[in-house]
Structures are given as C-alpha cells and as structure tokens.
Structure 1
Amino acid sequence: MNLRSSWVAETGQTREDTRLTQTGVTTLTNPVQVRSGVLPGSYDGLYRMAGFWTYGSSAMTATVSEGRAVVQGEISQGVYPVTMPTSEAVTFAPGDAQYGRIDLLVVKIYDNLYDSSNRNEAKIEIIQGVPGQTPQAPAVPPRSLPLYEVLVPAGVSAGNGGIPWSSSLKDLRTPVVALGGILPVEGPVLPGAYPGQYQDSGGALQRWDGGAWVSYPSALGGVIPNSASTTPASYTGQYRDSALGQLQRWNGSVWAPAVPGPLFNDSADFGDTASSTYTSTLAARATNPLALTFVAPPSKSVLVTFGARMKSRADHYAYMALKLTQGTTVVDDLSDEWSLQCANDTLIPVSTMRRLSGLTPGVSYTFTAYFKILANTLGIKAGFDNTFIRVDPQA
C-alpha cells in the first residue's frame, strides 16, 4: 500500500516510514517534501544563522561549526534530520599545479537502501572539483546539503600559505523553519509553497500570494514605511511614506500626495473696479483673473479660504466672491451670501472660509475670484490688494 503511517503497526515500521511521516518539521516545497537547509539561530542572537558556519583554521583546514539541518531525499525517501553538536575540522587537498579548482563542502547522507554504499550515516564531506581555467563547482550529490563552495587556487598547499580563506569561501547555506514559521531569507529567494506563507527578506516582512512574494504593507493594506519607499505598489489606493516624509497614495499610475495641498494662488497687485455686477477683471492689475485649479480628493470635500485688503467708501460696500466651475459647468455660482463685504475708505484685511462637499474625486475644479461695488452713480470704485485663494483638500 502506498499510504505510510508512523506508530500504528505493531511491527514493521521502517526508517523510511518514519522520515516520510514527520509533520511540522521545516519549510515546505510541496505537499510531501520540505526544503533542505539549516535551522537558524545564533548564541547571542546577533546573526540569523550560525549553524555550520565555516572558517579557515589553518593553511588547508577549515572548521565547520556545530548546527542542525534537514536534508530532503527523493519524494519517496523522506527527509533526514541531522545534528552536529560540536564543530568538526575538514582538510582540503593541495591545489593543482596549473589551475585552480572549486570544491564543495556538504552534509551528505549515506543510506544503503538507495546508494548501495553499505553505510547508513551522515557526514561532513568535501566534494572535490575539477581544475580548470574557469573552474566550476561540482554537482551536488543526491541526499546532500551544500554548505560552502571553496576556491582552491593553483599550487596552494600547507607549506606555502594555503587557501586564502577570506576570499575563497562562498556561503551556500539557506535557512529553514518549522511549518508556519517566518523564514529568514539568506541566499537565493525561493518560491513559496502556499498562499499565506511568510518570510523576512531582511528589509520587509513578505507574504506569498500564490505567484510572488508581496511585502507586508502591500499585502495587508498598511502604509509602506519610509525605509521601504522603493517597494512597488500592489494596488490602487495603497499608501506609502515617501523618502521625503510625505504621505502618498498610488492612483494606479503614479504616487501622488495622499492629501494634496494646501493649494494657493495670490496677487500682490492693487486693482479696482466700478462695476456693480461681478467681474473677474480688475483695472490696473497686470494679471486677470485670479483663479486656482485643484483636483477633488477622495473625501469629496475641500476647505476654501479667500481674502484681500479691500476699500470703497463708508456708505458703499465692496464685494469679493468665488465661482466654482468644472470645465464650462458652473458648480457653485456667485452669491452675496458667501462673499466678502467691506465699506471703508482705507484698505482693511478681510477673509472668510467655507467648506464645499459633494465633489467628484479625481476631477479638476477651478475657483475664480470676482469683484464688484454697490450700485452707485458717483463713480466710486472698489479697490482690492493682496488678494488670495487657498484650497485645503479634506482627508
């Protein structure tokens, strides 16, 4: 029968049965197999992975530190857990007289059921490479976990300085964690085994969405932090803290300020009018009209503030009002009710604020300033200086 079990049959449980039925051991690669790798951890907590760390201890000898690991066999063979409780020294053969070579340091499982080796044990071994002008690392044998590639230069030996360890060791170790644990990424980034699996990439917590590793803020809708502000957006409406410290929202094509503004336009030119109906043109002013265009925020609301230094005469009011348009459509027309009014012989500052709602998010609108004076036959003019319009989109 193809279905295996552990601790059910009174007799006959094999080593293979035991390996195949281990559950919750390490990081999955598919429903039956796990990833070969080293269990993370260090004595002082400063490093992600200290197990099987290797360093040169003499000219041709390296020391492999203690550690725990798992080695996955073929799908029907199960996974081999291994532990090395104390460090172990390994010695490399002298270099070739002409060419360098690359040796492979591995944890190798000998299992007589599959390799006819007449051995059943785990060993730290050196798989010696072939010397060449451009040497290549040897292939990883079956049931082996690669730890390091070691470059052995031409001609090196114990008597002439040996292997330059600081430049010859290439770390191949990859970590594995218990089922459901957050995997600390070291070495190559491998695909996830199921949607909802997590890994720590070193700069961000990531979730496997079934096709890619998605950074934690993207996956859960949080604000991408400043430290990861180069992380690509995952959906329209996602937020990030930009490198300049501004909260931004992805609109589907670009990162834009989440709450744009405040937006402001003003004129320091003095201008006047004798018109008794609203006009956007003031005499003696270089630029007419005074207008401000903005994009309606998702809240559909803005605060608009406008004002000026105004004068007319004590018995004739000067008016300033705003018209809101969207293209050629008037959205909010001129009204004395929402206007500034001033009756004074000298310039005095006047301003007001108003909230407008019901706007269409993402659509451009324009506020334009208009001016007039109370109807009169005396030729009295209303004067305006330092006029301004300010729009604050509401969050």
Structure 2
Amino acid sequence: MVALTPLGNLPYPQPADNADIPVHLQSLAEAVDGRTVLRFADAAARDAKVTDPIPGMVAWLNNPGRHYYFTAAKQWAPLSLGPAHWSSTLSGTTTSTAYVETLTGATDPFALTFIAPPYGAAVLTIGARFNNSAAGLAYFSASVKQGTRVVTAAADSRAAVVGGTNQVTASIQFPLTGLTAGAAYTVTGAFRTTAGTATFTNRYLTITPMI
C-alpha cells in the first residue's frame, strides 16, 4: 500500500507493493507536478491547462513576465508587487473649471497601469509643481478605472491644491480599496482651475501595494 510523506503528501511505495517502477514514478511525478512553478505563455494558456487550480499553486506567465499564485479567494494574483511609477517633466495648462484628463501643451499620455495586489488595496500618490495665473485655485487629482468602469473619480477631496501665481510643489496620498486582486487598473491624472490658467509640470503618479 502506497504511503504518503508527512508534509507534502507525496506518494512512495512500501516493501509489500508490486515492484512496478514506472507506475510508482508516475504517481510521484503527478503529485509533484502541481507543486512546482508551472510555466505558460500567458493567462489563457494557463487557464486552458490548469482547469481546477488549488490555493498555493504558482505559475509563471511569459506574458506579462510575472509569477502568479492561486489565492484562497480562488483567484490568480501576482506573487510579488512593487510600486508602479509614472512621471513627466512636460509642462501643460488648463483653463477648465471641471476636471479634464488632458493638458494643453503636454502631449504625453498621463496614465499609469497597475495590477491590483492580492489584498485588493493600494496607496495612490500624485504630485506636481504647479501654479495659477490668477488668484484662483489649481487642483490636481486622478481617476482610477478598471477597463472603462470608473472605480474612483477625480475629486477635490482627493486632490493636491495650489493657490496663487507662485509655483509650488504639492502632493497627496489616498488609499484605493476594494480592488479585484490580479486585475488591471489605470490611473489617469485630472486637472482643473477655479479661475485663470493653471500650469502643471513635473507631474507624477505612484501606486504602492498594501500587503
């Protein structure tokens, strides 16, 4: 009767078992197979092959070049995530009193894509050096989307704010919670002014996973 190792439950034959080496090796190989780092071209290839994943499984995907593990919540999530960062030194302006995601004179796509961490929470930091041509206020916020769905909209309560004509570097941090582990999200900068022309430069976005 085949016995099992005490920690990994791997099968091994007993002296009374039939001396069928190929069968014993196959049983051991199949037991080890799901415990190794699996390798696939992408998520579609992984899901086609691993139809009944078990929490704790680890897989490497050539695209996007990252390790994933299957969580207790029955989802594939990135094994390890570090901060994601985007920045630009281009200067742009807006006269809009409602939030806009583009600036006149700045042609860069001011957006940052990140993968939600296993616990579904991250901290977003946004900042820039900016000022206003008048005595009004200039706001720099951001929207967060999953695909086309807006998860967190730009808002004054989540914005760095500068008043007056002197250039000032300002930033703000706020948490993003309730994210779907392993899903892709996009953060896009958003800008507005209460009066005059607001000018923004040295803009940046940083996502720091909460673990």
Give the counterpart of 1:284 among 98, 101, 105.
105
- CA pair 391-197 structure 1, distance change in 2 beyond 3 A: closer
1:265 is the counterpart of 2:86:
yes
When you count helix as a share of all residues, which structure comes out higher?
2
Q: Displacement, 1:393?
A: 1.7
Give the counterpart of 2:56 among 237, 245, 249.
237
Give the counterpart of 2:158 among 335, 338, 342.
338
Q: Displacement, 1:362?
A: 2.0
The one-letter code matched in structure 1 to 2:69 is W
Aligned to 1:359: 179
Q: Displacement, 1:235?
A: 4.7
When you count strand as a share of all residues, which structure comes out higher?
2
- CA pair 298-208 structure 1, distance change in 2 beyond 3 A: same
Aligned to 1:19: none
Contact 2:140 2:191 in 1 (8 A): yes
Q: Which structure has the higher relative contact order (CA within 8 Å, separation 6+)?
A: 2
Gaps of 5+ in 1: 1-29, 31-192, 199-205, 219-230, 241-246
Name the SS of the counterpart of 1:303 in structure 2: strand
Contact 1:313 1:344 in 2 (8 A): yes
Contact 1:259 1:393 in 2 (8 A): no
Alpha-carbon distance between aligned partners in 2 of 1:294 and 1:360, rounded to the nearest angstrom: 12
Name the SS of the counterpart of 2:4 in structure 1: coil
Within 5 A, what are the aligned runs for 1:50-199? 193-196=2-5
Aligned to 1:208: 10
- CA pair 386-330 structure 1, distance change in 2 beyond 3 A: same
Q: Displacement, 1:351?
A: 0.6
Post-superposition, which runs of at least 4 consecutive aligned residues in structure 1 deviate over 6 A? Answer: none
Q: Displacement, 1:344?
A: 3.2
Identity %: 28
Gaps of 5+ in 2: 13-26, 39-52, 60-65
Alpha-carbon distance between aligned partners in 2 of 1:344 and 1:326, rounded to the nearest angstrom: 35
Alpha-carbon distance between aligned partners in 1 of 2:69 and 2:170, rounded to the nearest angstrom: 38
After TM superposition, the score normalised by the length of structure 1 is 0.39
Q: Number of matched residues? A: 170
- CA pair 331-257 structure 1, distance change in 2 beyond 3 A: closer
1:250 is the counterpart of 2:65:
no
Alpha-carbon distance between aligned partners in 1 of 2:130 and 2:4, rounded to the nearest angstrom: 65
